[in-house]
Structure 1
Amino acid sequence: MDRTAALPPHAFTLDEASAAGFNARTVQRLAADGRLERLAHGLYQRPETATYDTDLYSAATRAPDATLCLTSALAHHALIDAIPARIGLALPRGTRRPATAGTISWHLFDAETFTVGRTTTQITGTSAVVGLYSAERSIVDAFRLRGVVGYETGIEALRTWLRRRGSTPAALLSVARALPRAQGPLREALTYLT
């Protein structure tokens, strides 16, 4: 019987491996033999259990404040058709970005407004959670940071959002008031689309 079955079915740390009866040297040997996959420093998984986004899981476990933002959040809320090539994650300005190998694009947002519209969502296939900006915050950010995501992205997201039942411009403008440089472009787009 394969002893690695005693390890968690999701990515795990060396402490979690120790709780399952595996010391650090054994875990490193199993990784060198190809029976475990090393995702990041001190983070491993069984290859047959990788049914989730390992880059997102690794980033979220290494940076608990990490929050899906910009095109990643817009795609999560089904407000744009594009599938982002990289996972956009925000951290409060002043926070150290963890070293991640993979498709993560880190963004630093003002610490005072970082939590505006922030919730959490479970990472599919794991028990871990990652931060997620609300649809309204994501649209406002798309206008506020249009130089990063492209002006058309905000327009597409806003158009899709306005078609949804219960979506009101007042909700967007309420979020925009808390974030600098967002109100002007958002008001202009709302005037054009409504």
Structure 2
Amino acid sequence: MDSEGLPPAFTLADAEVRGLRKDQVYAMLSSGGIERVGRGVYLRPEAIDPAFAPLAAVTAVRPDATLCLTSALVHHGLSDAIAFDSDIAIPRGVRRSAGFAHIAWHSFDRATFTVGREHLQIAEHTTVAIYSPERTIVDCFRLIHREGDDVAHGALRRWLRRRGNSPSALMDVAAYFPPAESRLRRALEVLL
């Protein structure tokens, strides 16, 4: 009994599709071949970068789960924060999956949920979603009351220092979020 044919993060249903019975999954769990990371969700620890383990686990249950806010800033190199929880967005009105540790859930409007949403392959046959640097900065300005002034402005300064980034691309994303657009426009006027 081997976990090699399983994706890096999987559910019991995924294991059953691949011909494994529940007792075989539990045997792999007790032998240390896999880890339980959520209710009915398992992880092959050697098969995935630990930085993406929480997101991959949630994605096994909620394919629309998307890395956002501080966690996305760190991934894009726009923050040096060391987050205790992974920030994960789901569409507003969707039930949050229970049993996951170290996940900070965020509900984003369905109408704008896919704006700036990108896919990243983190292992063979495993793709997760993350918001683009531009969308993440806009979200930080949109939620500045929760994320903090220093986080939003620090990320914007780092992003502007990078070669090839265009304020117009950032404003194109911000156009979907009018309250953030005005805040971001003022910040750009000061920094540029």
Same fold (TM over 0.5): yes
Which residue of structure 2 lines up, in the alignment, with residue 179 of structure 1? 177
What pairs up with 1:82-161 in 2 under 5 angstroms?
82-123=81-122, 125=123, 127-161=125-159
Deviations 1:10-48 (A, max 9, x none): 233334434554311232244345554322233334565
Bigger mean CA offset, 92-101 vs 25-34: 25-34
Q: Using a 3 Å threshold, how does the CA distance of structure 1 residues 6 and 193 change in structure 2: closer, same or farther? A: closer
- Kept in 2: contact 1:6–1:20 (CA 8 A): no
State the SS of the aligned residue for 1:89. strand
Bigger mean CA offset, 142-151 vs 22-31: 22-31
Deviations 1:140-187 (A, max 9, x none): 111110111111111111111111122222111111111131022111
Q: In the comparison of the two structures, how many residue pairs are matched?
A: 191
Deviations 1:102-131 (A, max 9, x none): 2111100111011111111123x4532221
Question: Does 1:26 pair with 2:15?
Answer: no
Cα-Cα RMSD: 2.3
Normalised by the length of structure 1, the TM-score is: 0.86
- Kept in 1: contact 2:55–2:65 (CA 8 A): no
What pairs up with 1:38-53 in 2 under 5 angstroms?
38-46=36-44, 49=47, 52=50, 53=52
In 2, Cα distance between the equivalents of 1:69 and 1:77? 11
Which residue of structure 1 lines up, in the alignment, with residue 165 of structure 2? 167
Q: Using a 3 Å threshold, how does the CA distance of structure 1 residues 19 and 168 change in structure 2: closer, same or farther? A: closer
Alignment gaps of 5+ in structure 2: none
In 1, Cα distance between the equivalents of 2:43 and 2:108? 31
State the SS of the aligned residue for 1:4. coil
Which residue of structure 1 lines up, in the alignment, with residue 78 of structure 2? 79
Bigger mean CA offset, 46-55 vs 142-151: 46-55
In 1, Cα distance between the equivalents of 2:73 and 2:98? 25
In 1, Cα distance between the equivalents of 2:4 and 2:181? 53
In 1, Cα distance between the equivalents of 2:180 and 2:169? 13
- Kept in 2: contact 1:90–1:107 (CA 8 A): yes
Deviations 1:78-100 (A, max 9, x none): 11122322111111111111114
Structure showing greater radius of gyration is: 1
- Kept in 2: contact 1:13–1:43 (CA 8 A): yes
Normalised by the length of structure 2, the TM-score is: 0.86
The one-letter code of the counterpart of 1:168 is S
